[in-house]
Amino acid sequence: MLDSGIGSWPARRARMTPGARAFVQDDAAVTYAQVDRLVEALAHGLRARGVAAGDRVAFLGLNSVELVVTLFATARLGAIFLPLNTRLAPPELAWILADAEPVLLVHADDFDATVAAEPVAALGLPSHRFTASGGRGLDTLAEVAEVAGERIDVEVGLGDVFMIQYTSGTSGRPKGVMLTHGNIAWNAFNLLVDVDLRSDEVALVTAPLFHTAALNQVLLPTFLKGGTSLIAARFDPASAIATIERERVTLLFGVTSMYQALAQEPTWATADLDSLRSALSGGAPIPRTLLDTWQSRGLHIIQGYGLTEASPGTTMLRAGDGLDKLGSAGTPCFFTDVRVVAPGNDEAAPGQTGEVHVSGPNVTPGYWRNEAATEAAFDGPWLRTGDVAMLDDDGFLYVVDRVKDMFISGGENVYPAEVEQAIYTHHGVAEAAVIGVPDERWGEVGRAVVVRRPGTALTESDLLEHLGGRLARYKIPKVVVFVDEIPHNASGKLLKSRVRELYGTPEGTTR
């Protein structure tokens, strides 16, 4: 094959295990041979619609076989897959689409209203609507082709861009993280070294596939090994436990809120979870009490540290690392290097905090059409993560804070600058600062500290209603605190650290 990228994976796996189940959704199974046929037919259809190497194909929809088939078919043409966060509001999606300039938007019928909304519709993007149906919802976009006789085989190298995943930026605008075919492949190799996935793996995929963790840490490595991914459109704890029991699930991924919800299900105590071999987590550290709850059922949650820019795997706390290291993010993955840099750009000594830098073949080459952000993010081969951590004497990484103001709510990154920009669109706001505060269910939630414009009677409900439709729901603050003034330094710069001291505790919630 000329194609050495991700688009060739269905064909390579189909020639090894054609009859094995690749995906199951809504009790309908799709074999590896069938996946290859679906991908090939869709690639022909996309090419007929004008999609060529380097073009972007956007996808808006919940977890589905259609999402995965579109991903592989796009890659088979040497084009670039653009997964869109289904939780974003139309103005947010419109900005991303305008920046990435896809030649086609493939969307599920669940999102007809979003695509028809003025900010998105105004872009005039060619689009294709489908109804999820086990991979066959895209039949009207695909073209029937004899796989053996008309195979598409475009020359694709590991250094070519495979996907752009947008992450919110500290400046308030998202940045498109470019991930190459090689980034994804090396990340999968790291995961396979760490977790020992097998060809009989049965993975439950309930976290959103538009995020890097569920896609790159679970579904694609499972596909590479020839296992089965059970795809659920949404996470439902009762359904997840029932599926684990019925399908004998061996691999699970979730963020803190998902593992908490599973442990709170009435069937948790008596459920047969013996088939589970690996339970992976990322996004934010899991509280020790929750780790102990899972440990009481004989299940060790494997925590790791990662970020979209690293595809995402960076470090892993492996099952054999011992209970005394719980709370750590583990040690670097096999093909990835990590250092902690203290102020002054010297490597930090054990126990000393500093910024985490990451290097390896899984690390992004940079941000889409954003040379300034790319240059600022790298120190030679090292990616500056913006996270503060320390290494202990054994080389285990402990993430202690963030250089950036970002916080993580239910596994979703929230950048205060973006939320603050939306708050400022209300005429009653004179000044605003957003911080993350601890929350038992979501890990962290937003709290807005707001100074009213003189002469206005802005209320919390007024402001939250204003933000609805402008921001994804997980970005909207849960509490608004009204104050007379927000702390600044002598030069007039807002002091976020002081805002956290005053309003980041339960006592600091006076409205």
Per-residue model confidence (pLDDT) at position 492: 58
Per-residue model confidence (pLDDT) at position 145: 67
pTM (2 decimals)? 0.87
In a domain, 235, yes or no: no
In a domain, 35, yes or no: no
Q: Which helix (H) or strand (E) holds 39?
A: helix 32-48
Per-residue model confidence (pLDDT) at position 421: 82
In a domain, 436, yes or no: yes
Per-residue model confidence (pLDDT) at position 291: 86
- pLDDT tens-digit readout, 321-331: 877 887 789 99
Per-residue model confidence (pLDDT) at position 146: 64
In a domain, 106, yes or no: no
Per-residue model confidence (pLDDT) at position 147: 59
Tokens of 460: 């919390």
**Which CATH number fits the domain that encloses residue 429?**
3.30.300.30
**pLDDT-flagged residues of the chain (< 70):** 145-149, 168-172, 401-404, 489-493, 506-511
DSSP letter for each residue of 383-432: EEEEEEEEE-TT--EEEEEESS--EEETTEEE-HHHHHHHHTTSTTEEEE
In a domain, 325, yes or no: no
Per-residue model confidence (pLDDT) at position 413: 81
In a domain, 163, yes or no: no
Give residue for tokens 């993430």: 399
Find the domain containing 494 and state its range.
407-508
In a domain, 429, yes or no: yes
Tell me the C-alpha distance between 390 and 352, whole Å. 6
Instruction: Give residues with Cβ within 8 angstroms of 76, minimum separation 6.
Output: 3, 7, 8, 39, 40, 43, 152, 154
Report the alpha-carbon angle 434-438-440, nearest 5.
135
Number of domains in the chain: 1
**Bond into 83 cis (ω within 30):** no
Per-residue model confidence (pLDDT) at position 324: 83
Per-residue model confidence (pLDDT) at position 320: 80
Tell me the C-alpha distance between 180 and 199, whole Å. 25
In a domain, 494, yes or no: yes
Q: Are strands 251-254 and 202-205 parallel, antiparallel or unpaired?
A: parallel
| Strand boundaries in 172-291, DSSP class E | 175-180, 202-205, 228-231, 251-254, 278-281
